[in-house]
Structure 1
């Protein structure tokens, strides 16, 4: 019996790691699996959070059918995993909840209690700033405060549910997620995405297992609990890999930003966090595997080209570009979910990988990301290449990057070639697929080229190499029009075949006409699922990977 899979993404960095994980699911890396996904943040308006939640909703629209919202798991095809999304954010809106001082009610109780509470709070938290800054945009690198308040928010939700009155929608979603975790018991694998150098993620990783355990106990009034010694937890220990402009004195002098994260302290924050995780017995006993991921060269500016005059560390404007380290974090989750060996001792094990660094830049192959466990690297390269080529087919060969054609135009082409079994796929379903490819690869905003996830990942290591040749990442209309969609790989062995009288693209279309989906093996039932499986089979056959 396979373990049940759970993902928790915490804070802005955790959301971007989840974005990469969703794209791994879209290319087909988690065949036949169902994943429960929880987004957890203090900042309900965070741009990265909103972006990945919309990505999952789009993913689920693509998989949905008339009879099953979010679809069912498939095998050896695109969008093969089923994703169930739950959202929880701590509530810091409303009178008496805006800051620490009000939230913990320092001014209530007897004079002696107020005095003792103030002395204790002042011992750990600066009175003039930390106790009074707005919590709405996260914990601003105040992880000691953040850990306490994240735990408080989760337990507060459990108490509200137990009372059964004024339960907020996000508290219900948290309950549904934890109920599935409780039901899975020993067969649960929980992977936490978050950074250790900032605010929310660094605050949450140490306390999440205990908070989930205590939520179950509080909600059940002590009748139930989670055995942390048996539930398998893993996490990223993602150290600093980006920076942003230093806040100026004017911004730091404002009441809103009197406490604000300063990227110059990220390396120090990372070192302190790693020392803490190594020595803290709760962390060591709660987690089975900790994946240490970092960026050992100069960090890229997350707000480069943003056109804003102040430091952005939260809110709707926080939409940082994707980075290779986030894909590595997603690969760590994949490794955690498929690996057979799992430590059973009382101390977490640390894992890390490395990649070649030459001429002051990194280059990445599929083996650098996945190793060769169960031929994962070859499977990843094949499926990423298939999705990348399909994105180019939709966006450039059929005009999807400049309008609403894309997959619809490709279906019309197949119809003319007498491949008519997919005529019932609706315009809305085609538009959803085309929109996904735009987020995955690229699109145009009028005449402005907009990089999607894969382009952003590759750009984070440019001019280093990333599996595909540089021409595959063309970023202007002329180069895209000239692009041979069957030659995206650096390794020519995986270029599509062509004949003396036919291009690679036309040869692929002919292969598509002569092939079809394996409905039972690929677990596909709807017309849309059969179409995606059909495409996947023809693309994989064209790329020539030896996967069997």
Structure 2
């Protein structure tokens, strides 16, 4: 396996995660990176997420922010050569020495949105009569506000997002180009860095945000407020545009209706044909959708927090980011803001199954994620079901640095790692319970039945796989090795041991 030490080129991937779908795809990417999934590339990419969502109380956004924060702490304490959590994730403010320090969060601070109507945002009352008449024409549609009242678009309150109105979103999100965050992004962007944009196409925030952010990046050098190095115009830019992939409950009082999804998607694709794909402004564009009619989500336009269960499509969308990082620079050449060889891709599975297992995935995808996700699942299983019985008893625990009761009572283990692994289990369970489902694990089973479709190799000289046998392997694996800290030891030792078990006993391959 290639290690970080073998990679000698450092680059950054700036991810603009737009709207609720952006946060959920980013959450899936974080789970993949935590498990040790890495792009097959000669570069070591540092990930810089930038979440753009006016809906600050969005539960999907808050869950992703918390997850990213825990990931950062674990990665910083365990180090980047420990297998799990070995891709660096950082906030934009850590890259800049600007006196206008940013918030230190992963979320872009949209100004003057919370608690305001769209008419207030554009200063409608201060317009002269001809411009008022023009605004009335441009925003003449109707929507439903958070009190479920029908209102004109000018009276939409934006603190729960743009509720399926990309024409509003495109106006508000255009402020990004003049923000301190965008200035710092531009000034820190280097020639080897890349950009990836995550958005849905059938709502308001994502459909508006993708072309707006893309245009602002390509036009950055024409922005007099940007003091950049000149690399943004020809940046290597990838994006995943998520088409309809879930069902929602019918609610005549909601501004969100499933019947509108396809019409909005067609309208957005028609616009993209001229302003995204038609003008070659994107280097690599990934399309993904799912028409499987499964369990409907609660119809929540945002006023109740908007917390959707994880979905397989979001994980597949996260894999588009890994694929983009594996794409050679020579395939992503850009000149004067135009992609010379634009790439368009879709995601497919081997078998059209309502309940996807690893074996239903194409070979490359299965090899990419099966081992790593299984390792993290086995790691979590041991910690939650057996660690308390092993600490201060087993050799691997007593060898220096010790994994003892003081360690598991410390914040690193008790809060950051335990909370992250609990979120990992929730993510897997939500995907398994969703329709279309993804359920490669039996999380509550024995170790030998953990992976669906995989049986432990048996025979005269093959021992069973259980917690005592794991303890023996952990002690053998750690014997004579040195670790910089107890945190690093826990992460690295279990990564190496779970990889050995899954290779020798379950037949998984890297």
Taking structure 2 as the reference length, the TM-score comes to 0.81
Q: Where does residue 242 of structure 2 map in the other structure?
A: 238
Structure 1 Cα separation of the partners of residues 457 and 230 of structure 2: 50
Q: Which deviates more from structure 2 when the two are superposed, residues 114-123 or residues 320-329?
A: 114-123
* In the alignment, structure 1 residue 457 sits paired with structure 2 residue 469: no
- Tell me the secondary structure at the aligned position of residue 342 of structure 1: helix
* In the alignment, structure 1 residue 285 sits paired with structure 2 residue 303: no
Change over 3 Å in CA distance of 1:457–1:413 after alignment to 2: farther
* Mapped contact 1:245–1:301 kept (Cα < 8 A): yes
Q: Where does residue 165 of structure 1 map in the other structure?
A: none
Structure 2 Cα separation of the partners of residues 17 and 223 of structure 1: 31
Q: Where does residue 488 of structure 1 map in the other structure?
A: 450
Structure 2 Cα separation of the partners of residues 224 and 282 of structure 1: 26
* Mapped contact 1:47–1:314 kept (Cα < 8 A): no
Change over 3 Å in CA distance of 1:224–1:505 after alignment to 2: closer
Alignment partner for residue 138 of structure 1, among 158, 161, 173? 161
* In the alignment, structure 1 residue 122 sits paired with structure 2 residue 136: yes
Q: Where does residue 102 of structure 1 map in the other structure?
A: 120
Q: Where does residue 262 of structure 1 map in the other structure?
A: 257
Q: Where does residue 538 of structure 1 map in the other structure?
A: 497
The structural deviation recorded for 1:356 is 3.8
Q: Where does residue 46 of structure 1 map in the other structure?
A: 58
What do residues 511-536 of structure 1 show as CA deviations (whole Å, max 9, x unaligned)? 1110139989xxx7433122211111
* Mapped contact 1:379–1:547 kept (Cα < 8 A): no
Query: Which structure 1 residue ranges, 5 or more long, are not aligned?
Result: 66-70, 159-173, 253-259, 304-310, 399-406, 442-451, 474-479
* In the alignment, structure 1 residue 313 sits paired with structure 2 residue 301: yes
Q: Where does residue 97 of structure 2 map in the other structure?
A: none
Change over 3 Å in CA distance of 1:546–1:133 after alignment to 2: closer
Change over 3 Å in CA distance of 1:105–1:497 after alignment to 2: farther
* In the alignment, structure 1 residue 514 sits paired with structure 2 residue 473: no
- Tell me the secondary structure at the aligned position of residue 24 of structure 1: helix
Query: Which structure 2 residue ranges, 5 or more long, are not aligned?
Result: 1-8, 92-105, 142-150, 334-338
- Tell me the secondary structure at the aligned position of residue 515 of structure 1: helix
Q: Where does residue 34 of structure 2 map in the other structure?
A: 26
- Tell me the secondary structure at the aligned position of residue 286 of structure 1: coil
* Mapped contact 1:191–1:234 kept (Cα < 8 A): yes
Structure 1 Cα separation of the partners of residues 18 and 459 of structure 2: 44
* In the alignment, structure 1 residue 84 sits paired with structure 2 residue 90: yes
* Mapped contact 1:389–1:486 kept (Cα < 8 A): no
What do residues 110-160 of structure 1 show as CA deviations (whole Å, max 9, x unaligned)? xxxx12211221222117510111011111111122112101x314535xx
What do residues 292-345 of structure 1 show as CA deviations (whole Å, max 9, x unaligned)? 000022154122xxxxxxx41214621100000000000001111122252434
* Mapped contact 2:15–2:47 kept (Cα < 8 A): yes
Alignment partner for residue 385 of structure 1, among 355, 367, 374? 374
Size of the aligned set, in residue pairs, is 462
Structure 2 Cα separation of the partners of residues 217 and 526 of structure 1: 49
Q: Where does residue 161 of structure 1 map in the other structure?
A: none
Structure 2 Cα separation of the partners of residues 496 and 80 of structure 1: 33
Structure 2 Cα separation of the partners of residues 115 and 346 of structure 1: 46
Change over 3 Å in CA distance of 1:465–1:333 after alignment to 2: closer
Change over 3 Å in CA distance of 1:104–1:456 after alignment to 2: same
The structural deviation recorded for 1:20 is 0.2
Structure 1 Cα separation of the partners of residues 399 and 478 of structure 2: 10
Structure 2 Cα separation of the partners of residues 293 and 368 of structure 1: 15
Taking structure 1 as the reference length, the TM-score comes to 0.76
What do residues 13-64 of structure 1 show as CA deviations (whole Å, max 9, x unaligned)? 1111011000011101138542111111111111111110011111122223
Structure 2 Cα separation of the partners of residues 43 and 534 of structure 1: 41
